A and B are shown apart, each in its own frame.
Chain A
Amino acid sequence: MPRYLSMVRLDESTVPAEGPSPELMQRMGDLLEEITKAGVMLDTAGLMPTAQGKRVRWEGGELSVTDGPFTETKEVVGGYALMQCKDMAEAVEWAKRFLKMHEEHWTVTCEVREIQEG
């Protein structure tokens, strides 16, 4: 049963200023409980806005550090879920259920990637 990292990508400029609605938080909490109880969720968290992030880069033998926000990237990682699923289809199914929680004005992408084992 492989493990999958679902990276929740969103356009920070479309995120409501007041953040997710209380109803959305409630639905997310219920779903998180369900995925955990299914024995699937290994770890999950939301990330602080990129305004508080840094990028550390290695290029041409030189290190550079850039402060956020990362405006040149349209969709940035805003959270992640690490899940153990039977196959990619199951991981995608959970990602769909997570996305369906959101109101229509959200634009969110889950990039689901299998973790390399061994």
Chain B
Amino acid sequence: MTPQPTGPAQSALNAIDTVFRLESPRVIAGVARIVRDVGIAEELAQDALVAALEQWPRDGVPDNPGAWLMATAKHRAIDLVRRRERYARKLAEVGRDLEAAGPHLDEPSALHDPDDIDDDLLRLVFTACHPVLSAQARIALTLRLLGGLTTPEIARAFLAPEATVAQRIVRAKRTLAAKAVAFEVPYGPDRQARLNSVLEVIYLIFNEGYAATAGDDLLRPALCEDALRLARQLAGLMPKEPEVHGLVALLELQESRAAARTGPSGEPVLLKDQDRRRWNRLLITRGFTALGRANALSPGAPGPYALQAAIAACHAQAYSYEETDWPKIATLYALLAARSPSPVVELNRAVAVSMADGPEPALEIVDRLATEPALRDYHLLPSVRGDLLRRLGRTAEARAEFERAAGLARNERERGLLLRKAAASEE
């Protein structure tokens, strides 16, 4: 730790950094409603930050720093729009919006109406996660604009060169502008698809962190927390959407196991071997609460995220792997397979069936997946098959499957685990 220079100016600088990171999503969202372009909105938010860096150390931090940043950025946005109007008639529509928003522009109090801010944030969420963008671009833009992560932070978390991520963000903003993507919350036939796109982005961010076992760079597991925070924010913005609560429930429950997922030297610890006393009770409770909300909003018709959360909830309720309600989990996987079929869901269903009804019926499910192109290089398919064969006493075949799985595993620690299983399968 280097000693921090103290004094009012330095403490103002530290406060600016923190306040800006907290407020920037809302400022960008508020400004984007005026200029209708998230790229320009982000630049104007940065301008407000520069103004704060000039003024706060000199005049002190304002009473409501968020409102100050918002007002400063919005005034610059309005100036920009007016300048554009003078130069370009084609922006007349923005002018009409400005007329409609007339009182907003001159009343400082109206600059910070919480309901307005929520609406603007939601528009920003749907814009950053718009399907015209690739999944990678949506992820980068969402973490940058809504998660408050810097480009270097995103690059490190995704093990990508900084220039690549920076370029990705620039291109994403250009695409949104070029395709004239409306800065709005979708209501109508495509709303569900658009919402799914948002949920998927948050889920992908979480999984990126979840799949990375504790390594040298703690930023990767931190992605789980960034995703969870985004999901919790979304639940605050869209309290009536069951699948938003379903996603929150799933992530809270998954995250509740974080401390137990790695051993002393960072090796992965499988669910059945985890010390359940290390599961976080608070997150489990929060997961159950969110799942309750999801089920109450869509009784009898749980969506895919709520179903996955219900499966995670079964694990959270069991004191040990053996005491898990496997028949219920197998049923939930069957529902999930019917709702949104995928080879990975089928593979997970096979594991649950093997615990509920034994290895034989499970092996039938797994063998049907043998020709599935999506699973061709997926190490968990031979790994699960090896487990089932071992339980059926077909040890030589089991060994071959574990070795195949080890050859496919991309993570060094998982490979070691599978090779140990291969060696142990014929003992």
Known contacts A1-B222, A1-B229, A93-B15; A37 and B282 CB within 8 A of each other:
no
Q: Which of A17-63 contact B (CB under 8 A)?
A: 30, 33-34, 36-40, 42-43
B-chain residues with CB within 8 Å of residue A84 when the two chains form the complex = 225, 228-229
Q: Does B226 contact A (CB under 8 A)?
A: yes
Task: Kindly state whether residue B160 has any CB partner on chain A within 8 Å.
Answer: no
A-B contacts, CB under 8 A, total: 50
Digitize A72-89: 1 where CB-to-B-CB distance is under 8 Å, 0 elsewhere: 000000000010101101
Task: Give the shortest distance, in Å, between A113 (CB) and chain B (any CB).
Answer: 16
Least Cβ–Cβ distance between A2 and chain B, in angstroms:
9
Q: How far is the CA of A12 from the CA of B112 in the complex (A)?
A: 35
- Asked if A16 lies at the interface with its beta carbon under 8 angstroms from chain B, I say no
Hey, which chain A residues are within 8 Å of B226, CB to CB?
Answer: 1
Chain B residues near A34: list those with CB within 8 A.
Answer: 114
Q: Which of B17, B21, B114, B259 contacts A30 (CB 8 A)?
A: B114
> Which chain A residues numbered 63 to 118 have a C-beta less than 8 Å away from chain B?
82, 84, 86-87, 89-90, 92-93, 100, 117-118
**Which residues 167-216 of B have a CB within 8 angstroms of A?**
none
Asked whether A93 lies within 8 Å of B233 as measured between CB atoms, the reply is: no
User: What is the minimal beta-carbon distance from A37 to any residue of chain B, in angstroms?
Assistant: 4
The CA-CA distance from A16 to B186 in the complex, in Å, is 49
Greatest chain B CB density within 10 A among A42, A92, A117 is at: A42
Q: A34-B114, A36-B236, A39-B236 are in contact. Are A90 and B229 (CB under 8 A)?
A: no
Residues of B within 8 A of A33 (CB): 114
Measured in the bound complex, the distance between the Cα atoms of B357 and A83 in whole Å is: 43
A93 touches B18 (CB 8 A): yes
Determine how close the nearest CB of chain B comes to the CB of A88; give it in whole angstroms: 9
B233 proximity list for chain A (CB < 8 A): 37-39
Chain A residues lying within 8 Å of B222, measured Cβ to Cβ, are: 1
**Cα–Cα distance between A30 and B66 once the two chains are bound (Å):** 15
Instruction: Please give the distance in Å from A117's CB to the nearest CB on chain B.
Output: 7
Q: How far, in angstroms, from A82 to B231 measured CA to CA in the complex? A: 18
Does B331 lie at the interface of the complex (its beta carbon under 8 Å from any beta carbon of A)? no
CA distance A30 to B259 in the complex (A): 33
> In this assembly, does B107 line the interface, its C-beta being within 8 Å of a C-beta of chain A?
no
Indicate whether B19 reaches chain A with its CB closer than 8 angstroms. yes
Residue count of chain A within 8 Å CB distance of chain B: 22
Q: How far, in whole Å, are A93 and B22 apart by their CA atoms in the complex?
A: 9
Residue among A30, A39, A82, A90 making CB contact with B230, cutoff 8 Å? A39
* Interface contact A42-B118, CB-CB below 8 Å: no
- How far apart are A77's CB and chain B's nearest CB, in angstroms? 18
B391 located at the interface, meaning its Cβ lies under 8 Å from any Cβ of chain A in the complex: no
- The chain B residue with its CB closest to the CB of A93 is B18
A1 with B282, Cβ < 8 A, contacts A30-B114, A90-B18 known:
no
Q: A117 vs B261: C-alpha distance in the bound complex, in angstroms?
A: 13
Q: Answer whether A43 and B282 are a contact pair too, CB < 8 Å, given A1-B222, A30-B114.
A: yes
Task: Choose from A39, A87, A100 the contact partner of B232 (Cβ within 8 Å).
Answer: A39
Q: How distant is B323 from chain A, measured CB to nearest CB, in Å?
A: 25
- Structural contact, A89 and B18, CB atoms closer than 8 A: yes
Q: Looking at the complex, which one of B63, B237, B259 makes contact with A117 (CB distance below 8 Å)?
A: B259
Smallest CB-CB separation from A88: which chain B residue?
Answer: B18
B282–A39 touching, CB < 8 Å: no
Residues on the B chain within 8 Å of A30, using CB: 114
A2 CA / B302 CA spacing, docked (Å):
32
- Return the chain A residue nearest B25 by Cβ: A38
**How far apart sit A73 and B18, CA to CA, in the bound complex (Å)?**
33
B18 and A39 contacting across the interface, CB-CB below 8 Å? no
Q: Is the CB of A86 within 8 A of B259?
A: no
CB distance from B155 to the nearest CB of A (A): 17
Closest to B149 in A: A86
Smallest Cβ-Cβ distance to A89: which chain B residue: B18
Do the beta carbons of A89 and B229 come within 8 Å of each other?
no
Q: Contacts of B22 on A, CB cut-off 8 Å?
A: 38, 90, 93
A102 to chain B, nearest CB (A): 14
Please give the distance in Å from B371's CB to the nearest CB on chain A. Answer: 42
Say how far B131's CB is from chain A's closest CB, in angstroms.
Answer: 24
**Can you name 4 extra interface pairs (CB under 8 A) apart from A39-B228, A87-B18, A90-B21?**
A38-B233, A84-B225, A89-B15, A89-B17
- The 16 sampled A-B contact pairs (Cβ below 8 Å) are A1-B226, A1-B229, A37-B236, A38-B233, A39-B228, A39-B231, A39-B236, A43-B282, A84-B229, A86-B21, A87-B18, A89-B18, A90-B21, A93-B18, A93-B22, A117-B259
